[in-house]
Structures are given as structure tokens and as C-alpha cells.
Amino acid sequence: MSETQDQKSFFKRHWEGYKEFWAERFSFLENYSKVLYPEKPLPHWDSSVVEEFIASDPVHGPTLKTAREAAQFGAAGAVVGAVTTAGYCWKYSRSAHGAALAFGFGAVTGSCFGLEIANHWFQLYRLDTMAAQVKFYEWLQNKA
């Protein structure tokens, strides 16, 4: 009986060490904890609220607008990728489960390609889109 308690304490000690190890490596996530886990939930917003923020913030507003436009490239890429890969799979194999898997894989791949194209098209690598989104969340929380 004492042997199982010793094993639990052994595993528990190693688990705590493992958690500390990864907590040090991902300590930058603490910067976003107030956004990820707010004290009170964010109010619901729609495109008119986002447009209001874009008009009110001359620094982060245009960046957020550009990031929203870039997301449309990702969505379009996902649709094109999903439909074409599923179509080719269905045409050549007539396999429903294969077409479903190809649909999912094509959506993920097409979305990645679409976002990469948007990254270069809008030159997002020059902008800090994460800071703009965080500022929007802070503005939304202060507004409520």
C-alpha cells in the first residue's frame, strides 16, 4: 500500500516538474491572459462595432481592417481547396469517406494558402495584427 503512495508521489513530482518546464517556455502567454480569460465576458459585437473601432483608432484601426480583409482570402482559399480536392477525389475514386477526408484536408490547405497570399498581398508582415486585435478587445471591454 505504501508502495502505490510512493509511486503517486514519484509521478506527481515529475508531473509538477514537467508543468514548470513548459510554463517557463510559454510564459509569454501570460501577456494575453486578460484577453483570453477576461473578468467579465466580452459583449457581443458585429461588423458595425468593428467599423466604429476602426474609425475611432487611427493607429490600430487600419491594421484591424486589413487583417479582416485578409481573413476573407483565407475563407475563399478554404472553399476553393475543399471543393477542388473533394471533387478530384470523388471523380477518380468514388469513395465517400475519401472525398470527405479530401474535403477537410483541402479546406485546411486552401485556407493556409489563402492566408499566405493575403500576407503578401496586404504586406501583413509589416503590421502587428495581434496588437490591433488586443486593442480592439480592450476597447470593447472599456466600451461595455
Give the CA count within 13 Å in the CB-facing half-sphere of 89: 18
Angstrom distance (rounded) from CA 54 to CA 66: 10
Instruction: State if pTM tops 0.75.
Output: no
Question: What pLDDT was estimated at residue 37?
Answer: 79
Chain position carrying cell 504586406: 123
Mean pLDDT of successive 10-residue stretches along the chain, which has 144 residues: 59 83 80 76 86 92 92 96 96 93 96 95 90 89 82
Question: What pLDDT was estimated at residue 81?
Answer: 96
The C-alpha cell at 49 is: 462595432
**Contact yes or no for 115/77 (Cβ under 8 A):** yes
Number of H helices, E strands in the chain: 6, 0
